[in-house]
Amino acid sequence: MDYDFTIVGAGAVGLAIAAELSQHGSVLILEKEDGIGRGISSRSSEVAHAGIYYEPGSLRARLCVEGRRQLEEWGAQGRFSYRRIGKYIVAVTEDERAQLDALLARGRENGAGDLRLVSRDELCAAEPHLSAACGVFSPATGIFDSHGLMRFLLESAQQQGAQLATQSAVCGIRRLAAGYEVVVRQDGAEERLATRCLVNAAGLFADEVAALAGIDVDAAGLRLFWNRGEYFQVVSSSRVKASRLIYPVPGAGGHLGIHVTLDLAGQIRLGPSAEYLEPRPFRERREDYAQDERLLALFFEAARRYLPELEAEDLRPCATGIRPKLNGAGQPARDFYIREESARGLPGLVNCVGIESPGLTAAPAIGRHVARLLFNR
Ligand SMILES: Cc1cc2nc3c(=O)[nH]c(=O)nc-3n(C[C@H](O)[C@H](O)[C@H](O)COP(=O)(O)OP(=O)(O)OC[C@H]3O[C@@H](n4cnc5c(N)ncnc54)[C@H](O)[C@@H]3O)c2cc1C
């Protein structure tokens, strides 16, 4: 065998898995782009989620809470910038209060930190530009440098001997008597390598990589639905300021709603929105990050509900990301799919599919979870 472990994808998830598995054997990370973190991981809100929203007991809930604690610890050790900034989830009107109560109960069940209800007066004192009936305060929610996290994970993996091959797209997977042959396209030529275990952490393309391994992704319920999220920044000359993250109660379909995020430099962004893209066959899918400036009216209306001093001219389009969702429009939210595939006759293959939010927060815990799946099989 050329490698004990081969990982497809050098986003936050693949790198966290590499940092973990390189403690146990030889690791190769294959990345189709010319560097790490060029996919979903570089287009997020960079929020370390506390773990409030997700179904109790789900992977999303458990790995989010565990991952956030790990990020905090690494942040405290100075591995990358991290701030425990805190967040308000707000009921704009009294009739949204019941949703807050439900979130509070769910967050407490998930172990999402010391959540507490806050009154209108307390909200007003903390965030003078905010208008809301009441809210939940989550002190454990943080913001962090996602690129710093990925550099740290790569360095940790490389110090333990892991190798990274960029501009190396996996285009074929064949089961061997023990392990897998992986076909890799590099500079127009095809190389083949043999690996004992294979981990699919290919983000938006994880369904395509699962299909290369012979899985019927439609029958297995693993086809990804791409969902665009756009951001508008609030220009620094705006009257509206915020010192913490501010989210409305979630809207239809579990979407968190147009919310206020802050980056480490204090820049306010609104978003991300949520819009399903037209499903396309694998070969016709393209990541299109062009911004739709017509969304300005939608952002303005959504944010003005709780930031009444906001003006439309305060907003500028600033970024776009795409979510890899396992549920299509109108379908119930799905959990992360992270499985060792012996049950499908593919031992030593781990698929990580549908790693949408809070995938960045959960990444360190996903790394450990994948290692457990491979060693406990
Ligand atoms: C708009 C938006 C906001 C978000 N905000 C947050 C947030 O605030 N907090 C949070 O916790 N999460 C957030 N998320 C979710 C989080 O960003 C993702 O869950 C996480 O980054 C997924 O990481 P990944 O490594 O799985 O995917 P990626 O970062 O996309 O990495 C996958 C890699 O695989 C490579 N690849 C694909 N196919 C192949 C192939 N055939 N061969 C070789 N390489 C291949 C890709 O090039 C890519 O680099 C957000 C997501 C979006 C879209």
**Nearest-atom index, ligand 1, CA of 45:** 8
Whole-angstrom distance, CA of residue 3 vs CA of residue 30: 12
How far does residue 36's CA lie from ligand 1's centre (Å)? 11
Q: Could you tell me if 306 and 236 lie in one domain?
A: yes
> For residue 325, which of 225, 256, 220 has the smallest C-alpha distance?
225
Q: Which of 41, 166, 171, 299 to mutate to test the pocket of ligand 1 (most atoms within 8 A of CB)?
A: 41
Q: Could you tell me if 114 and 208 lie in one domain?
A: no
- With 0-12 / 13-18 / 19 or more C-beta atoms within 10 angstroms meaning exposed / middle / buried, residue 160 is middle
Share of the chain above pLDDT 90, in %: 96
Residue 25 DSSP class: S
How far does residue 22's CA lie from ligand 1's centre (Å)? 21
How far does residue 41's CA lie from ligand 1's centre (Å)? 4
How many domains does the chain fold into? 2
- With 0-12 / 13-18 / 19 or more C-beta atoms within 10 angstroms meaning exposed / middle / buried, residue 215 is buried
**Nearest-atom index, ligand 1, CA of 12:** 25
pLDDT at 253: 63
pLDDT at 296: 95
How far does residue 12's CA lie from ligand 1's centre (Å)? 7
**Nearest-atom index, ligand 1, CA of 169:** 42
> For residue 240, which of 267, 258, 265 has the smallest C-alpha distance?
267
Q: Has residue 109 got a pLDDT over 80?
A: yes
Nearest CA to ligand 1 atom 1: 321
pLDDT at 254: 66
Locus of tokens 């995020």: 261
**Nearest-atom index, ligand 1, CA of 15:** 25
How far does residue 16's CA lie from ligand 1's centre (Å)? 12
How far does residue 307's CA lie from ligand 1's centre (Å)? 30
How many residues does this entry show for the chain?
Answer: 377
Q: Could you tell me if 238 and 369 lie in one domain?
A: no
Cβ-based neighbour number of residue 37 at 10 Å? 22
Final residue before a domain boundary, out of 289, 304, 325 = 325
How far does residue 119's CA lie from ligand 1's centre (Å)? 37
Q: Could you tell me if 107 and 199 lie in one domain?
A: no
Q: Could you tell me if 271 and 321 lie in one domain?
A: yes
Give mean pLDDT, residues 119-139: 97
Half-sphere exposure (CA, 13 Å, Cβ side) for 233? 11
Q: Could you tell me if 343 and 320 lie in one domain?
A: no
Nearest CA to ligand 1 atom 50: 44
pLDDT at 257: 85
- Are 37 and 12 in contact by the 8 Å Cβ rule? The answer is yes
Q: Find the angle CA(368)-CA(328)-CA(45) to the nearest 5 degrees.
A: 55
Residue 65, domain member (yes or no):
no
Nearest CA to ligand 1 atom 48: 39
Whole-angstrom distance, CA of residue 33 vs CA of residue 80: 23
pLDDT tens-digit readout, 205-239: 999 999 999 999 999 999 999 999 999 999 999 99
Residues within 6 Å of ligand 1 by CB: 8-14, 30-33, 38-41, 43-47, 49, 169-170, 201-205, 209, 229, 272, 321-323, 355-361
H or E element at residue 14: helix 12-21
Q: Could you tell me if 233 and 181 lie in one domain?
A: no
CATH of the domain at 277: 3.30.9.10
pLDDT tens-digit readout, 232-259: 999 999 999 999 999 999 876 667 889 9
Q: What is the mean pLDDT of the chain?
A: 96
- Are 8 and 146 in contact by the 8 Å Cβ rule? The answer is no
Whole-angstrom distance, CA of residue 201 vs CA of residue 350: 9
| Contacts of 78 by beta carbon, 8 Å cutoff, 6+ apart | none
Whole-angstrom distance, CA of residue 293 vs CA of residue 188: 37
Q: Could you tell me if 168 and 310 lie in one domain?
A: no
Residue 181, domain member (yes or no):
yes
Q: Has residue 17 got a pLDDT over 80?
A: yes
**Nearest-atom index, ligand 1, CA of 9:** 34
Whole-angstrom distance, CA of residue 2 vs CA of residue 230: 42
Residue 109, domain member (yes or no):
yes
User: Could you tell me how far CA 214 lies from the centroid of its own chain?
Assistant: 26
Cβ-based neighbour number of residue 83 at 10 Å? 14
How far does residue 39's CA lie from ligand 1's centre (Å)? 5
Q: Could you tell me if 229 and 356 lie in one domain?
A: no
pLDDT tens-digit readout, 353-366: 999 999 999 999 99
Nearest CA to ligand 1 atom 13: 357
Residue 204, domain member (yes or no):
yes
Structure tokens at 98: 């019941």
Residue 70, domain member (yes or no):
no
Residue 39 domain boundaries: 3-44+147-223+333-375
**Nearest-atom index, ligand 1, CA of 362:** 11
**Nearest-atom index, ligand 1, CA of 261:** 8
Q: Could you tell me if 236 and 369 lie in one domain?
A: no
How far does residue 286's CA lie from ligand 1's centre (Å)? 15
CA distances for 11 relative to 65, 150, 157, 359, angstroms: 20, 7, 13, 10
pLDDT at 251: 77
**What is the DSSP track for 288-349?**
-----GGGHHHHHHHHHTT-TT--GGGEEEEEEEEEEESS-TTSPP---EEEEGGGGT-TTE
Per-residue confidence band for 377, with pLDDT thresholds at 50, 70 and 90: confident
Q: Could you tell me if 124 and 172 lie in one domain?
A: no
Residue 211, domain member (yes or no):
yes
CATH of the domain at 177: 3.50.50.60
Q: Has residue 262 got a pLDDT over 90?
A: yes
Q: Could you tell me if 151 and 135 lie in one domain?
A: no
How far does residue 107's CA lie from ligand 1's centre (Å)? 25
Strand partners, 353: 337
How far does residue 305's CA lie from ligand 1's centre (Å)? 31
pLDDT tens-digit readout, 317-342: 999 999 999 999 999 999 999 999 99
